[in-house]
Amino acid sequence: LAKTTQPISMDSYEGQEVNITCSHNNIATNDYITWYQQFPSQGPRFIIQGYKTKVTNEVASLFIPADRKSSTLSLPRVSLSDTAVYHCLSRPYNQGGKLIFGQGTELSVKP
C-alpha cells in the first residue's frame, strides 16, 4: 500500500529558501494536493493547494510535476516564525476516497 511520504525533519537558517517534497505516487486523477502548517499547541492551518504545475500565494509556492506523483512546497526566505510542522495531504485512488496526510516535516529555522 503506497504511502504519502515526506521527510521527518529539516533544518534551515533565516533568509534561506526551504523546499519540502512530498511523495504521493497513488494520487487520484482529479484530486488536488494541499499543504498545511502547524505551530505547537495549534491545529494545522491551510497554506496552499494545487493541481498541477506551479501555484504561488503570499506565503509559499507549490510545484507539481506533470506526473503529479510528488509535490514540493517552497518557502522563500524563511524566518524564525516559519518553524513549524508542514503536512501534505492528498487523496489516493485506492483508499476509499479518504484524504491521507504525509508524516509531517518538522522544520526548524535557526538564526
Partner 1 sequence: DTAVSQTPKYLVTQMGNDKSIKCEQNLGHDTMYWYKQDSKKFLKIMFSYNNKELIINETVPNRFSPKSPDKAHLNLHINSLELGDSAVYFCASSQGASSANEKLFFGSGTQLSVL
The contact set with partner 1 (CB under 8 A) reads 8, 30-32, 34, 36, 38, 41-46, 49, 51, 85, 87, 89, 91, 96-101, 103-104, 106
Distance, CA of 105 to CA of 93 (rounded, Å): 23
Shortest spacing between CB 76 and partner 1, in angstroms: 23
Cα 100 to the center of its chain, rounded Å:
12
Q: Please, which residue, 94 or 111, has the CB nearer to partner 1?
A: 94
Distance, CA of 24 to CA of 100 (rounded, Å): 9
Cα 9 to the center of its chain, rounded Å:
12
Shortest spacing between CB 32 and partner 1, in angstroms: 4
